[in-house]
Structure 1
Amino acid sequence: MLRYGLTALAILLFLLTLRRSGERAGRLAERLETMEKTHDAQRRMLQAAARRPHSRDDLAERLRHGQF
């Protein structure tokens, strides 16, 4: 009888550990997705900053040629 109790306890502990591991994996996946979105936004901002006119004269030139 004690053997069945220990087996049931071992199975229960295994399932709880498995559940906790799954929750941790879910949180890590969510964190990764958030980091990817943040990285994408930062990359787009850096690309936009690289294309910006460097002076007022450059801006005026772009506006004259309709390239803004």
Structure 2
Amino acid sequence: MLSYPAKIPLSSRTLNHLADRIRAHRRQRRSRWRRLNPGEPALLVLAHLRNGDTYTRLAAGFDIGVATAWRYVREAV
């Protein structure tokens, strides 16, 4: 189960769709190991797009660096 300390009005279908897209992108690029599994960056990106959360707040919520949060958002968008 994925959680984030904010209320985000979205369906699990949306989250799963974005996670599948991230997973396919990583597989296609033969991406190396990442700290977060594909579902977590999907939640991070949707929190940023829906709530306008800052990269600093996202980084703190997911226990990653600010630059890493920025890269996850950029990768998904």
TM-score, normalized by length of structure 1? 0.30
Structure whose alpha-carbon radius of gyration is higher: 1
Higher helix fraction (1 or 2): 1
Which structure has more relative contact order (CA 8 Å, sep 6+)? It is: 2
